[in-house]
Amino acid sequence: MLDFNAIIEGLVACDTEKVTQLVNAAIAENVPAADILNKGLIAGMDIVGEKMENGDMFIPEVLMAAQAMGSCVETLKPLLGEGEGRESASVLIGTVKGDLHDIGKNLVRMMMESAGMAVHNLGVDIAPEDFVAEIKSKNAQIVCLSALLTTTMPMMKKTVDAIVESGLRDQVKIMVGGAPVTQAFCDEIGADGFAPDAGSAAKMAKSFV
């Protein structure tokens, strides 16, 4: 029985070399790839996200951990069986129309992918109707809206309104985030959740599925 804790600890320590070694050793010992992924890598990134949320880990460390995980996932992919390691949710993420900032959004995307979700990154400057169209085509369960400017926050409301008008509101949970965004604003525009950082965003998305 492999000790998944070592993989988890390796990720939390941002020790790419150690994690890679442990994953390769586990594969050699015929540990099921799905277990390595779920009980090792994803479980480790959950802790990384939590530590980020608590201010015990910082963005550069989270990036390193995610990079370590990413390269291991590539190794595992061919070993995963049919239906194994399938993403737990379909998530859309984008920065709203008129806003071109993407750093925070990309961190959220990375943490959600690391948590085992399929994240469709629409990019920046995304119009409400494009969010609506993509919800349909990607059959999304979660939609994440990002805005960094007070001037583009109203576009979040317009996007939520467009989703309501499209009749798709019940199909999706809507999450909002970005420097000026608050829980009060989230409530005001009728979104489902606000997350102040990428770690808590991933945790919240998991709680929605």
Partner 1 sequence: MFEVIGERINTSRKLVQAAVAERDAEYIINDVKKQQEAGANFIDVNAGARIGHETEDMKWLLDTIQPIATVPLTLDSPDPAVLEMAFAMVEKTPMINSISLEKDRFDAMMPFLKGKECKVIALCMDDNGMPGSADDILARATTLVEELNKIGIPTNAIYIDPLVQPISTDSNKGTMVLDAVRAIKAKYPEVHITGGLSNISYGLPQRHVINRTFVALMMDAGMDSAIIDPLDAKIMATIKTADMLIGNDQFCGNYLKGVRSGAIES
**38 φ/ψ angles, rounded to the nearest 5 degrees:** -80, -50
Parallel, antiparallel, or unpaired for β 118-126 and 90-96? parallel
| Residue matched to tokens 């009749």 | 167
- Stretch binding partner 1 (CB under 8 A), from 7-15, 20-28, 71-79, 103-111: 103-111
- 184 scored as a contact of partner 1 (CB under 8 A): no
Cβ–Cβ < 8 Å for 26, 40: yes
- 190 scored as a contact of partner 1 (CB under 8 A): no
- 130 scored as a contact of partner 1 (CB under 8 A): no
- 70 scored as a contact of partner 1 (CB under 8 A): no
Determine the Cα–Cα distance for residues 137 and 134; give it in Å rounded to an integer. Answer: 5
Q: Which is nearer to partner 1, 142 or 156 (CB)?
A: 156
- The pair of structure tokens assigned to 174 is 């809507």
Determine the Cα–Cα distance for residues 207 and 23; give it in Å rounded to an integer. Answer: 27
- 63 scored as a contact of partner 1 (CB under 8 A): yes
Contact with partner 1 (CB under 8 A): which of 17, 60, 83, 184?
60
- 187 scored as a contact of partner 1 (CB under 8 A): no
Q: Which is nearer to partner 1, 5 or 183 (CB)?
A: 183
- 160 scored as a contact of partner 1 (CB under 8 A): no
Q: Which is nearer to partner 1, 141 or 152 (CB)?
A: 152
Contact with partner 1 (CB under 8 A): which of 59, 77, 86, 139?
59
- 139 scored as a contact of partner 1 (CB under 8 A): no
- 55 scored as a contact of partner 1 (CB under 8 A): yes
Contact with partner 1 (CB under 8 A): which of 3, 5, 165, 180?
180
- Stretch binding partner 1 (CB under 8 A), from 4-12, 28-36, 78-86, 98-106: 98-106
- The pair of structure tokens assigned to 180 is 């000026």
State which H helix or E strand residue 11 sits in. helix 4-12
Cβ–Cβ < 8 Å for 153, 80: no
| Residue matched to tokens 């480790």 | 44
Calculated CA dihedral for residues 188, 191, 192, 195, nearest 10 degrees: -90
3-state DSSP helix/strand/coil % of the chain, to nearest 5: 60, 15, 30
**Chain contacts with partner 1 (rule: CB under 8 A):** 55, 58-60, 63, 98, 100-103, 106-107, 124-125, 150-151, 153-154, 180
